[in-house]
């Protein structure tokens, strides 16, 4: 089995690395937080003193970082430090699982290609639950051969693995999807609440729209109206799930992408404004389906 360097052991990266260990990979980890490394070491990981230390000698490097600037500087380096692409062996496969702007992904891919290294942008969806269960979805951008090469290691961490296109396409597809998701959530919320305002039972209205032309993922899996669906955040005080702050981040990336390509996204742009205001009102750490409360009457919310 190959040796994998895993850099970035947060809520997502930690369980992903653990699944690689379970699948039999030799995993060498690095994180700025020592305790995060310690947790993985107890599960069988080797630890390194630096990102470059972890990557040197690995067959595959996987990174899971907060934003584009971290990915750029880690891979390509700067005036003060070498980048990963300067230290890995020829033939090393580079996989970045962070959700970042497409431009940064293309920037790293271009610099990697100059050193004849294969780079894949492979943002994930499925959240911390999917990371732990090994059922993440990966949406990849990069060459066909690199995508083929990545199958084994990605399969150890997830279920669906998509090839969206060339470098950066994984990031673009993910934010197109998440922008669309945000609109589905807002529009489903306002439609359900309008029904409630007219005396309809949200359970019945959901059942009808789910199998009609209003059908969408939020009605199937993630109903935002409290009490309609068990085991979703809306029936648990909007705790857990996918945080509003993270949706605001993804909607920021989507609007950044729209500016770059001169695209018009009226619904996505409106969703961003509504989510930013929702976050400013103190809902940043709650699940993103809590946008439903923007439409509900105050007496509903108090219940």
The dihedrals phi and psi of 22, each to the nearest 5 degrees, come to -60, -35
- Take residue 257 and report the two structure tokens written for it: 């992408």
Could you say which of 28, 69, 82, 174 is catalytic?
Answer: 174
By CB under 8 A, residue 108 contacts a second copy: no
* Number of C-beta neighbours around residue 31 at 10 A: 24
State which residue, 125 or 223, has the beta carbon closest to a second copy.
Answer: 125
Give the pairing of strands 26-30 and 3-7.
Answer: parallel
Q: Which CB sits closer to a second copy, 89 or 270? A: 270
Binding to a second copy, residues 16-45 (CB under 8 A): none
User: Is residue 195 near a second copy by the rule CB under 8 A?
Assistant: yes
Buried b (16+ CB within 10 A) or exposed e, 168-202: bbbbbbbbbbbbbbbbbbbebbbbbbebbeeeeeb
**Cβ nearer to a second copy, comparing 59 with 68:** 68
Nearer of residues 86 and 190 to a second copy, judged by Cβ? 190
Instruction: Report the C-alpha gap between 117 and 148 in whole angstroms.
Output: 15
> Known catalytic residue: 210?
no
CA distance 173 to 181: 12
Per CB under 8 A, which of residues 278..297 are in contact with a second copy? 280-282, 294-297
Within 217-276, the residues that bind a second copy by CB under 8 A are 217, 220-222, 248, 252, 254-274, 276
Residues 57-86 that bind a second copy (CB under 8 A): none
* Residue 138 is a binding residue for a second copy (CB under 8 A): no
Cβ neighbors of 17 (< 8 A, separation 6 or more) are 6, 9, 27, 29, 40, 45, 62
Structure tokens at 17: 């690395």
In the list 168, 224, 226, 241, the residue contacting a second copy (rule: CB under 8 A) is: 168
Q: Which is nearer to a second copy, 20 or 142 (CB)?
A: 142
Q: How far is the CB of 55 from a second copy (least distance, A)?
A: 26
- Least separation in angstroms between residue 17's CB and a second copy is 24
Q: Judged by CB under 8 A, which of 216, 223, 289, 290 binds a second copy? A: 216
- In angstroms, the Cα distances linking 91 to 66, 95, 154, 215 are 26, 13, 18, 46
- Segment interacting with a second copy (CB under 8 A) among 29-37, 52-60, 112-120, 169-177: 169-177
Residue 127 parent element (H or E): helix 127-133
Question: Which residue in 218, 272, 217, 216 sits closest to 245, CA to CA?
Answer: 272
Nearer to a second copy by Cβ, of 132 and 176: the residue is 176
Q: Residue 173 Cβ, how far from a second copy at the closest point, in Å?
A: 5
Shortest Cβ 270–a second copy spacing (Å): 6
CB of 195: closest distance to a second copy in angstroms?
5
Rounded to an integer, what distance in angstroms lies between the CA atom of residue 258 and that of residue 218?
24
Give me the active site residues, please: 174
């Amino acid at each position: 089995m190959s040796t994998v360097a895993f850099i970035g052991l947060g809520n997502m990266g930690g369980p992903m690395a653990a699944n690689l260990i379970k699948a039999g990979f030799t995993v060498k980890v690095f994180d700025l937080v020592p305790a995060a490394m310690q947790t993985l070491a107890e599960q069988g990981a080797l630890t390194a003193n630096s990102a470059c230390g972890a990557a040197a000698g690995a067959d595959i490097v996987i990174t899971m970082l907060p934003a584009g600037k971290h990915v750029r500087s880690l891979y390509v380096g700067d005036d003060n430090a070498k980048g990963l692409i300067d230290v890995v062996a020829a033939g090393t496969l580079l996989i970045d699982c962070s959700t970042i702007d497409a431009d940064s992904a293309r920037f790293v891919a271009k610099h990697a290609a100059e050193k004849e290294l294969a780079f894949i942008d492979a943002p994930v969806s499925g959240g911390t639950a999917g990371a732990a269960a090994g059922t993440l979805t990966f949406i990849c951008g990069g060459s066909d051969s690199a995508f083929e090469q990545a199958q084994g290691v990605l399969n150890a961490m997830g279920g669906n693995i998509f090839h969206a296109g060339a470098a950066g396409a994984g990031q673009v597809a993910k934010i197109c999807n998440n922008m669309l998701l945000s609109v589905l959530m807002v529009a489903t919320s306002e439609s359900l609440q309008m029904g409630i305002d007219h005396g309809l039972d949200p359970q019945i209205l959901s059942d009808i729209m789910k199998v009609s032309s209003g059908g969408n993922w939020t009605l199937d899996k993630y109903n935002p109206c409290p009490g309609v669906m068990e085991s979703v955040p809306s029936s648990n005080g909007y705790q857990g799930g996918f945080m509003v702050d993270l949706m605001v981040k993804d909607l920021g990336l989507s609007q950044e992408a729209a500016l770059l390509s001169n695209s018009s996204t009226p619904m996505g742009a409106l969703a961003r404004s509504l989510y930013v205001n929702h976050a400013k009102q103190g809902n940043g750490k709650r699940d993103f389906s809590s946008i439903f409360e923007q439409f509900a009457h105050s007496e509903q919310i108090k219940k």
